[in-house]
Structure 1
Amino acid sequence: MLQLERAKANPILVPDESNWWESKAVFNCSVLNDGKTIHMLYRAIGEYEDYVSRIGYASSNDGLSFTRRKEVAITPEVDYEMYGIEDPRIMTIEEETYVTYVVLSNYVKNNPSISTALAKTDDFSHYKRLGIITIPGSEDKDVVLFPKFNGESEFQRYMMLHRPSNWVGPQYNTERPSIWIAEGDSVTNFEKHLPLVKPEQSWEALKIGVGVSPIKTKKGWLVIYHGVSTDHVYSAGAFLLDIKEPHKILGRTKRPLLTPEEDYEIKGDVNNVVFPTGACVLDSKLFVYYGGADKVCCVATVDLQDLLDYLLSPECSI
C-alpha cells in the first residue's frame, strides 16, 4: 500500500497573530509552479464570530519554506463574496491563470447555500472576477478545471470536475455526494454534467470531493481527492483518468494515501482532517498540499512515477 510522506517541516504555514485577517487559521492551500516560483493561495480566518474567510498569498523556491505577503490577496468585494471566500484552487488554462473559490450566501453560522466562483490573474496581486460558474441550488464546491493546451485536441470543449452536494438520489444516479465531470464552451459555462466518481470505500463513505486540478502525466490525468468517512474523518486518495477520454477511470486508490495521524491533523478547528487542495511536481516528486484540521497548511510527498504505477496496479483496478 502506497502512502504519502509528510514533510518534516509540517505544518508549513500557521496562523499569524500579528496579522489580523490570518490570526486564527490558515489552511486549504493551492499552489502553482511556474518554473521559477511556487505560488500559493490559502484560506485565512481572522475571527470566529462570523467566520468570514479571505485568501492570502505566499511564495516559495523549494515548496517547503514559504514567504507570506502581509496584504490580503482576495478579500470579499462583490455581492456574492460578502460572507466569505473559501478554499482556492489555482489552475492554468491556455497559458492563463485562474482561481476557483467557494462563496457563501450568508454567514457560516446561518447555514448558507454554497456556490463556486472563478477569477483570473496574471500577477497574483490583481484578480478579475468572472462570476459564479456553478448551477444555483446545487450546493457545488470542490470545483477544478482541466488544463486546455494550445495546439492539442484532447478536448473539443472545456472540462470541469465538481461536487454538487444536492445532486443526490435516483434522478442523479448516485446516493451520496460524488465527483461529477462537466463540459462547456467556455471557462464560465458548463451545461453537460455526468457523475464520474462515487464513494465506494469505508474511508470515503459519506462524501468525496476533488482536491486539485487534474495533472497531465504520460499515464493519464492524475487527480488527488478527499473522502469523508461516516465518523467525519477526512482523508486523501487519488484516481487516474484517460488522457483523451477523461470520462474513463484507469485506476483509483481503494485505501487512503494519507489519513489524519499527526496532532496538527487530529486537533484543530475541525478535528481529524486531511484536506488536499494543491499539488505540483518538483524533481520527479509530487508535492501534495493540504489543510490540517482546518487550522494549518501542510505538505506531503510521493515519487510521481511510483504513484502512477500504483494507480495502474491490480491493487487500484476499477
Structure 2
Amino acid sequence: MVLQRVPENPILLPNPLHPWEALNVFNAAVVHHNGLFHMLYRAQGLDYVSHIGYAVSEDGVRWSRLDRPVLSPETPWEARGVEDPRITPIGDTFYMTYTAYSPQGIRACLARSTNLITWERMGIILPDEDNKDHTLFPEKVGGRYALLHRRPPDIWLAYSDDLLHWTDHRVIMRPRPETWEHLKIGAGGPPLKTDRGWLLIYHAVDAHHVYRLGAALLALDDPSLVIARLPDPILEPTETWEIKGDVPNVVFACANLVVDGTLYVYYGGADRAIGLATCPLDALLARLEEAASSP
C-alpha cells in the first residue's frame, strides 16, 4: 500500500461519557490552520443519529475534543443526522459540505464558519436529488466554484457562481467493472492542488462491499479530464478495527491534506473509529505519473 498507517491508530474512538458520540466516530474532515490540526468528525450515539463534533491537535495524532457537537440536526431534512463533513478553506472562510439524512432522503448541504466551531447553514445545494460525497475545490476553476459530487455510481463535477446553484454537471470518473472499484466510487476530501494536477483521493466499493481508497490526478484547468488513476488501491481494510465494526470492511476518507510535504489521509474504519495514514506527497505523485505513462 502507498499509504502507511500511524502506529497510534485508531486515533479517535467513541466516548461513552458523551451520549451523542458513545457508539461511533468516523468520517472526519481535517484542516491545518494556524499551526494546529482541526477535526470535524461524524459521531453517533445509541440512537444512530449523526452529529458533528470538533477536536484539535498539535501533531495530527493526539486529539482534544469538545464535549458537545458543533453541528446537530435542526431541519426536517436532517431528522436522522448530519453526516460525513468535508472542509474546504476558501479565503478567510471555512466551507463544510455535509450530508443531511432524513426519511425523505439524503441531500447535499453547505455550511460556513470563520472559527471552525460556530457554523452557519447555507442550505441544501443540490435540492432535487439524493446525493453524497460532495466536496469543494479550494479555489475557483475558470472563474467559477467547482464541486465534486456523487450521482451513483460515478463521481461528477459541477460549477457555480455563488456556491448555492450548481450547473454544468458531468461525469468525470466511473467504476471499473470486475475490480476493487466494481460497484461505486466517491470523492474523499477536497482535491489538492499540485504542480502536476488536482490530486483526488477517493473511495471505491467492490462486489463484496469492501471499501478501499484510490488516487487520481485531474487536469488543473479542466478537472473533468482525468490525467492519471492508479490501478491499485492506496489503502484497504486490513486492521481488525477496520474489518469489524458497525459496517465491516471499510476505510472511508473525508480528509486529505499536505503538511511539510507529507500527505495526511484521515479515514473512518468500519464506521466505528478514526485512523490516519500518511505518505510523502512526492511519492504518490510519482506513482500517478508512472500510471499516466503506462499503456
Match of residue 131 from structure 1: 123
Match of residue 49 from structure 2: 52
Q: Name which of 89, 104, 126 aligns with 2:101.
A: 104
Aligned-partner Cα distance in 1 for 2:293–2:86:
26
Match of residue 264 from structure 1: 241
Q: Shift of residue 80 of structure 1?
A: 2.1
Q: Name which of 284, 305, 309 aligns with 2:282.
A: 305
Q: Name which of 63, 66, 88 aligns with 1:91.
A: 88
Give the paired residue count.
Answer: 294
Answer whether contact 1:29 1:42 (CA < 8 A) is retained: yes
Where does structure 2 lack aligned partners over 5 or more consecutive residues?
none
Q: Shift of residue 94 of structure 1?
A: 3.0
Q: Structure 1 vs Structure 2: percent identity of aligned residues?
A: 43
Answer whether contact 2:37 2:57 (CA < 8 A) is retained: yes
The question of 1:116 aligning with 2:108 is answered yes
Name the TM-score, length of structure 1 as normaliser.
0.89
Give, as a single letter, the amino acid of the residue that structure 2 aligns with 1:128. E
What's the secondary structure of 2:249's corresponding residue?
A: coil
Aligned-partner Cα distance in 2 for 1:225–1:253:
11
Q: Name which of 144, 153, 157 aligns with 2:144.
A: 157
Counting only pairs closer than 5 Å after superposition, residues 227-266 of structure 1 correspond to structure 2 as 227-266=204-243
Aligned-partner Cα distance in 1 for 2:58–2:195:
25
Answer whether contact 1:252 1:317 (CA < 8 A) is retained: no
Where does structure 1 lack aligned partners over 5 or more consecutive residues?
107-111, 166-176
Change (3 A) 1:298 1:92: same
Match of residue 33 from structure 1: 32
Q: Shift of residue 316 of structure 1?
A: 7.2
Give, as a single letter, the amino acid of the residue that structure 1 aligns with 2:110. L
Answer whether contact 1:310 1:316 (CA < 8 A) is retained: no
Match of residue 156 from structure 2: 180
Give, as a single letter, the amino acid of the residue that structure 1 aligns with 2:54. Y
Deviations 1:81-134 (A, max 9, x none): 22210000011123321001111132xxxxx52111000011122111000011
Deviations 1:220-249 (A, max 9, x none): 111100000010000000111111121211
Change (3 A) 1:260 1:22: same
Change (3 A) 1:316 1:144: farther
Aligned-partner Cα distance in 2 for 1:94–1:283:
21
Match of residue 279 from structure 1: 256
Deviations 1:155-207 (A, max 9, x none): 22111100022xxxxxxxxxxx1000111111111011000000115111000
Answer whether contact 1:85 1:102 (CA < 8 A) is retained: yes
What's the secondary structure of 1:204's corresponding residue?
A: coil
Name the TM-score, length of structure 2 as normaliser.
0.96
Match of residue 175 from structure 2: 199
Deviations 1:253-286 (A, max 9, x none): 1110001100010000000000011111122110
Match of residue 7 from structure 1: 6
The question of 1:146 aligning with 2:122 is answered no
Shifted more, 11-20 versus 127-136: the winner is: 127-136
Give, as a single letter, the amino acid of the residue that structure 1 aligns with 2:224. H
For the aligned residues, what is the CA RMSD? 1.5
Q: Shift of residue 292 of structure 1?
A: 0.1
Moved over 3 A (4+): 314-318
Answer whether contact 2:76 2:102 (CA < 8 A) is retained: no
